[in-house]
Chain A
Amino acid sequence: MREEISDMSEDDETGERARWAPDLSKNRSDDSDSGPGPPIGDSPPPFSDQILENVLENVLEFLTSRRDRNSASAVCRSWYRAEAQTRRELFIGNCYAVAPHRAVERFQSIKSVVLKGKPRFADFNLVPFGWGAHFEPWVKSFGAAYRHLERICLKRMSVTDKDLTIIAESFPLFKDLTLICCEGFSTFGLAVIAERCRHLRVLDLIEDYLEDEDDEVVDWISRFPETTTSLESLVFDCVSCPFNFDALERLVARSPSLQRLRVNHHVALEQLRRLMARAPQLTHLGTGTFRSGAGFGEVDPNLDLVSAFGASRSLVCLSGFREIEPEFLPAIYPICANLTSLNFSFANLTAEELNPVIRRCHNLQTFWVLDSVGDEGLQAVAETCRDLRELRVFPLDPSEDSDSSVSDIGLQFISEGCRKLRSILYFCQRMTNAAVVAMSKNCPDLVVFRLCIMGRHLPDRITGEPMDAGFRAIVMNCKKLTRLSVSGLLTDKAFEYIGCYGKLIRTLSVAFAGDSDGGLRYVLEGCTRLQKLEIRDSPFGDASLISGLPFYYNMRFLWMSSCNLSMRGCKEVARNKPNLVVEVIRDGVEEEEEEEIEAVEKLYLYRSLAGARTDAPAFVKIL
Chain B
Amino acid sequence: MEGEAPRLLDLIPKERDWVGKEVCKVKNEIEEKLELRLGLPGEDNEKEEKQSAKSAFSLSFSENVSKRAFLGSVETNEGKGTERKASGAPPEAHGTRNINSSIANNSSQTRISNAPVVGWPPIRSFRKNLASSSISKSPLETQDGGPVKVNEVDINKKGCFVKINMDGIPIGRKIDLKAYGGYDELSSAVDQLFRGLLAAQRVPLVNEKSGGEKNQEIKGLLDGSGEYTLVYEDEEGDRVLVGDVPWKMFISTAKRLRVLKTSDLSVSSINTVSRKRAATEC
Q: Which residues of A contact B (CB under 8 A)?
A: 121, 123-130, 183, 207, 209-210, 212-214, 238, 240-242, 265-266, 268, 291, 293-296, 322-325, 345-346, 348, 370, 394-403, 427, 452, 454-459, 489, 509, 511-512, 536-539, 562, 564, 587-589, 599, 601, 619
Would you call B145 and A265 a contact (CB within 8 A)?
Answer: yes
Would you call B83 and A129 a contact (CB within 8 A)?
Answer: yes
Question: Counting CB contacts under 8 A, is B133 at the interface?
Answer: yes
Binary interface encoding of chain B residues 108-131 relative to chain A, with 1 for a CB under 8 A from any of its CBs, else 0: 011100101111111111111011
For A452, what are the chain B residues with a Cβ–Cβ distance below 8 Å?
A: 121-122
- Given A125-B125, A536-B119, 20 other A-B residues pairs in contact with their CB atoms under 8 A: A124-B120, A125-B119, A129-B82, A214-B154, A238-B151, A241-B151, A265-B145, A268-B140, A295-B138, A324-B134, A348-B133, A397-B94, A397-B130, A397-B131, A399-B94, A399-B96, A401-B96, A511-B120, A562-B49, A588-B77
Question: Counting CB contacts under 8 A, is B276 at the interface?
Answer: no
Would you call B98 and A537 a contact (CB within 8 A)?
Answer: no
Would you call A128 and B151 a contact (CB within 8 A)?
Answer: no
Would you call A240 and B151 a contact (CB within 8 A)?
Answer: yes
Would you call B50 and A562 a contact (CB within 8 A)?
Answer: yes
Question: Counting CB contacts under 8 A, is B209 at the interface?
Answer: no
How far is A599 from B46 in the complex, measured between Cα atoms in Å? 13
User: Quick one: which of B109, B141, B152 has the most chain A CB within 10 A?
Assistant: B109
Question: Counting CB contacts under 8 A, is B84 at the interface?
Answer: yes
Would you call A295 and B139 a contact (CB within 8 A)?
Answer: yes
For A213, what are the chain B residues with a Cβ–Cβ distance below 8 Å?
A: 153-154
Would you call B82 and A128 a contact (CB within 8 A)?
Answer: yes
Would you call A265 and B111 a contact (CB within 8 A)?
Answer: no
* A125-B130 CB under 8 A given contacts A452-B121, A454-B121, A457-B2: no
Which residue of the partner chain A has the closest CB to B89? A125
For B98, what are the chain A residues with a Cβ–Cβ distance below 8 Å?
A: 401-403
Question: Counting CB contacts under 8 A, is B87 at the interface?
Answer: yes
* A323-B137 CB under 8 A given contacts A207-B124, A398-B121: yes
Q: List 14 A-B contacts (CB under 8 A).
A: A123-B122, A242-B143, A295-B138, A323-B133, A346-B130, A346-B148, A395-B123, A397-B96, A399-B67, A401-B114, A452-B122, A539-B1, A562-B50, A619-B81
* Min CB gap A506→B, angstroms: 18
Question: Counting CB contacts under 8 A, is B78 at the interface?
Answer: yes
How far is A325 from B140 in the complex, measured between Cα atoms in Å? 14
Would you call B134 and A240 a contact (CB within 8 A)?
Answer: no
Q: Which of B67-84 contact A (CB under 8 A)?
A: 67, 75, 77-78, 80-84
Would you call B136 and A323 a contact (CB within 8 A)?
Answer: yes
Would you call B121 and A348 a contact (CB within 8 A)?
Answer: no
Question: Counting CB contacts under 8 A, is B146 at the interface?
Answer: yes
User: Quick one: which of B99, B134, B152 has the most chain A CB within 10 A?
Assistant: B134
For B1, what are the chain A residues with a Cβ–Cβ distance below 8 Å?
A: 512, 537-539
Which residue of the partner chain B has the closest CB to A397? B131
How far is A397 from B19 in the complex, measured between Cα atoms in Å? 11
How far is A242 from B142 in the complex, measured between Cα atoms in Å? 10
Question: Counting CB contacts under 8 A, is B244 at the interface?
Answer: no
Interface size on B, residues (CB 8 A): 66
Q: Which of B77, B117, B149 contacts A240 (CB 8 A)?
A: B149
Would you call B127 and A398 a contact (CB within 8 A)?
Answer: yes
Would you call A394 and B123 a contact (CB within 8 A)?
Answer: yes
For A128, what are the chain B residues with a Cβ–Cβ distance below 8 Å?
A: 78, 81-83
Would you call B119 and A121 a contact (CB within 8 A)?
Answer: yes
Question: Counting CB contacts under 8 A, is B159 at the interface?
Answer: no
Q: Which of B1-43 contact A (CB under 8 A)?
A: 1-2
How far is A452 from B47 in the complex, measured between Cα atoms in Å? 22
Would you call B130 and A370 a contact (CB within 8 A)?
Answer: yes
Which residue of the partner chain B has the closest CB to A120? B122
Would you call A123 and B124 a contact (CB within 8 A)?
Answer: yes
* A126-B96 CB under 8 A given contacts A295-B139, A457-B110: no
Question: Counting CB contacts under 8 A, is B44 at the interface?
Answer: yes
Top-6 shortest CB links A-B:
A124-B119, A240-B151, A293-B140, A399-B96, A398-B123, A128-B82
How far is A97 from B105 in the complex, measured between Cα atoms in Å? 47
For B248, what are the chain A residues with a Cβ–Cβ distance below 8 Å?
A: 296
Would you call A323 and B148 a contact (CB within 8 A)?
Answer: yes
For A396, what are the chain B residues with a Cβ–Cβ distance below 8 Å?
A: 130-131
* Min CB gap A126→B, angstroms: 5
For B82, what are the chain A residues with a Cβ–Cβ distance below 8 Å?
A: 125, 127-129, 587
For B97, what are the chain A residues with a Cβ–Cβ distance below 8 Å?
A: 397, 401-403
For A512, what are the chain B residues with a Cβ–Cβ distance below 8 Å?
A: 1, 120
User: Quick one: which of B97, B122, B153 has the most chain A CB within 10 A?
Assistant: B122
How far is A129 from B125 in the complex, measured between Cα atoms in Å? 15
How far is A459 from B117 in the complex, measured between Cα atoms in Å? 19
User: Quick one: which of B46, B77, B119 has the most chain A CB within 10 A?
Assistant: B119
Would you call A395 and B140 a contact (CB within 8 A)?
Answer: no
How far is A395 from B141 in the complex, measured between Cα atoms in Å? 31
Which residue of the partner chain A has the closest CB to B112? A457
Question: Counting CB contacts under 8 A, is B95 at the interface?
Answer: yes
Would you call B146 and A265 a contact (CB within 8 A)?
Answer: yes
Would you call A537 and B49 a contact (CB within 8 A)?
Answer: yes
For B131, what are the chain A residues with a Cβ–Cβ distance below 8 Å?
A: 348, 396-397
Would you call A348 and B130 a contact (CB within 8 A)?
Answer: yes
Would you call A291 and B78 a contact (CB within 8 A)?
Answer: no
* Min CB gap A537→B, angstroms: 7
Question: Counting CB contacts under 8 A, is B222 at the interface?
Answer: no
* Min CB gap B79→A, angstroms: 8
For A124, what are the chain B residues with a Cβ–Cβ distance below 8 Å?
A: 118-120, 122-124
Would you call B121 and A322 a contact (CB within 8 A)?
Answer: no
* Min CB gap B180→A, angstroms: 13
Q: Which of A242, A322, A398 contacts B133 (CB 8 A)?
A: A322
Binary interface encoding of chain B residues 240-254 relative to chain A, with 1 for a CB under 8 A from any of its CBs, else 0: 000000001000000
Question: Counting CB contacts under 8 A, is B55 at the interface?
Answer: no
Would you call A214 and B81 a contact (CB within 8 A)?
Answer: no
How far is A210 from B149 in the complex, measured between Cα atoms in Å? 12
Which residue of the partner chain A has the closest CB to B71? A399
How far is A145 from B122 in the complex, measured between Cα atoms in Å? 39
How far is A508 from B126 in the complex, measured between Cα atoms in Å? 24
How far is A294 from B140 in the complex, measured between Cα atoms in Å? 7
User: Quick one: which of B130, B134, B151 has the most chain A CB within 10 A?
Assistant: B130
